[in-house]
Amino acid sequence: MTIDILGQGGPVMWLIAAIGATAAIVFLQRLFHLHRAQIKTTDFIRGIFTIVNKGNIVEAVSQCEETPGPVAQMVRMAILEREQGPERVRQVMREVGLAEIPRLERNLSLLLTLGQIAPLAGLLGTVLGMLEILAGITAQAPQVYAGDLSHGLWSALLTTAAGLGAAIPIYAGYNLLVSRVESILLDMERVFGEVMMLLGPTAPATRPGA
């Protein structure tokens, strides 16, 4: 049944199917990555600094290395550079934040682009289907039968529906991923302030790279 629908939709239908499959792969990959990158920041910070206060620096660094996500990497660099003073700690945490942000946002622009292309591809299929209908009318005039035009009509309607059907979940997935990235960025901002408070004189917490 699926193959029949793809065949009736024509080449554009296969293009939309490829867009949808690519978007699904990108979404699932990024969702898994962001899920691993987001940790319980408050509990993590408390646990790490409990270890640091006991003098087990190596263990604290090791736990940071084993914990995925940008928050753990920021804390790891703060611990390693803690003896250089608050300004150095602030600098290295911002540098880590700047390096991690592109990793969090990787392929989000691709997903957005796919969401924008899908309805346009559907519109293209609609136009091609209408052109097929007009060509059929021109070729068979004055005796035109509805059955002879059905393929073009099916192609036009199916590609329109498929384009919109692909774009809606792609946009929803994109917005979900963006919200997850924003949540992680807020965690990074919060851990910046907490680490500075624990390691030395504090300054107003700012988003990494601000």
For the ranges 19-28, 57-66, 171-180, which has the lowest average pLDDT? 57-66
Note whether 13 and 125 are within 8 A (CB).
Answer: yes
Residue 68's pLDDT band, with cuts at 50, 70 and 90, is: confident
pLDDT at 26: 95
Judge whether residue 208 has pLDDT over 50. no
- Which residues, 6+ apart, have CB-to-CB distance to 193 below 8 Å? 202, 205
Euclidean distance between the first and the last CA atom of the chain, given in angstroms as a whole number:
54
Within the chain, how many helices (H) and strands (E) appear? 8, 0
Closest C-alpha among 27, 8, 10 to residue 166: 27
**Tens digit of pLDDT for each residue in 127-174?**
888 887 777 766 666 665 655 566 677 778 888 899 999 999 999 999
User: Which DSSP symbol is given to 80?
Assistant: H
> What's the whole-number mean pLDDT along residues 68-75?
88
Burial letters 32-44, b for 16+ CB under 10 A, else e: ebbeebbbebeeb
Cα dihedral 159→163→166→167 (10° resolution): -170
Average the pLDDT over 53-70 and give the result: 86
pLDDT of residue 89: 84
Q: How confident is the model at residue 197 (pLDDT cuts 50, 70, 90)?
A: confident
Name, in order, each residue with C-beta under 8 angstroms of 18's C-beta and a sequence gap of 6 or more: none
Burial pattern 127-142, b for ≥16 Cβ within 10 A else e, equals ebbeebbeebeeeeee
- Cα(64)–Cα(72) distance, integer angstroms: 5
How far apart are alpha carbons 79 and 20 in whole angstroms? 44
pLDDT one-digit tens code per residue, 99-117: 888 989 999 999 999 999 9
Q: Is the pLDDT of residue 80 over 90?
A: no
| pLDDT at residue 15 is higher than 50 | yes
The pLDDT score that the predictor gives to residue 127 is 87
Q: Both tokens of residue 196?
A: 């500075």
Average model confidence (pLDDT) for the chain?
82
Summarised one tens digit per residue, pLDDT across range 16-32 is 999 999 999 999 999 99
pLDDT tops 80 at residue 182: yes
